[in-house]
Structure 1
Amino acid sequence: MSTRTGDTERQAAPQLSRRLGRADPRAVPDARRALRELLRHWGRPGRSEIAELLTSELVTNALAHTDEDAVLTATVGRHGLRVEVRDAARRLPRRRMPEPDRDTNGRGLLLVDSLADAWGVRPCEPGKSVWFELGADAA
């Protein structure tokens, strides 16, 4: 017997949850591949590619700047996509302006800030969660 609310059956939002190993060189490409599969039929053209890029940046930051594993969670809801990457470090990420000719690092949060519809950091025990949201239909 299924649970019904009025005439509409409730369905869980599609979700991805994955532990990412700090020492695993495949963690970032595996996270991208799993997100791509989750978003196979989601959003306007180009939205899933933006989600993959931003997820790569958050995963890379979590694994490069901490000594622990991280956890990736992505949820497709009625209004769009929310991706969170949780790590055990209490230190908050910060945006920085890299020198164009000298530094190839430091651009991840600038990308997140410019491409995500919303993003932020929330403390959790232990550590923090860095998240972003994308609407499926945004231009």
Structure 2
Amino acid sequence: MEEPDAGEQGDQTEITGRQLRHAVRRADLPAVAEVRQLLREHLRMWGVPALVDTAELLTTELVTNALQHTGDGAVVVVGLDPGASAMRLRVEVHDTVTRRPRLRDGAAEDDQSTSGRGLLLVEVLADAWGVHAMGTGKVVWFELDVATA
């Protein structure tokens, strides 16, 4: 998938076939609900409603992380593509890092913290996932097989 600019200002949505691209402004946490609604609508339109719950949960985690831990917005790219052996949903969240995340009291959060478990959910529920660097930011992605939904 094309690497969009995660620092774009303004909400915008582009839909091409079975690909959805939505930009979320910096610190716009209420927009996470809008991303969930767009995802839900399009997965149903694309004929894969069984993926909705898991895709919404994982996308919410990734978008929220991007908005909370970077200084800019995020771009969500969702695609339903035929894979090598099965149809796959791929969700990518592109961000840019303009500030370093702050840790509480200079230490990483421990196992008793109320946050920080989102990527564990992604690891457990996604059929595949990963992170790769992109310029000044990164892309965190996951895939769900349609056949396993």
Contact 2:29 2:64 (8 Å CA) reproduced: no
Cα deviation, residue 38, structure 1: 1.1
Cα deviation, residue 116, structure 1: 0.2
1:60 pairs with 2:58? no
1:51 pairs with 2:55? yes
Match 1:71 to one of 51, 70, 75: 75
Match 1:19 to one of 23, 27, 34: 23
In the comparison of the two structures, how many residue pairs are matched?
121
Aligned twin of 2:120: 110
Contact 1:15 1:38 (8 Å CA) reproduced: no
TM-score (norm 2): 0.73
Percent of aligned pairs sharing the same letter: 49
Contact 2:128 2:143 (8 Å CA) reproduced: yes
User: What's the CA shift string for 1:71-103, capped at 9, x where partnerless?
Assistant: 100001122100000001287xxxx9852xx42
List gaps (5 residues or longer) in structure 1: 1-11
What residue identity is the alignment partner of 1:133?
Answer: E
When you count strand as a share of all residues, which structure comes out higher?
2
What residue identity is the alignment partner of 2:52?
Answer: S
Aligned twin of 1:129: 139
Q: Which SS does the other structure have where 1:122 is aligned? A: strand
TM-score (norm 1): 0.78
Aligned twin of 2:35: 31
Moved more, 121-130 or 61-70: 121-130
User: What's the CA shift string for 1:6-27, capped at 9, x where partnerless?
Assistant: xxxxxx6411101111232322
Cα deviation, residue 110, structure 1: 0.4
Contact 1:117 1:133 (8 Å CA) reproduced: yes
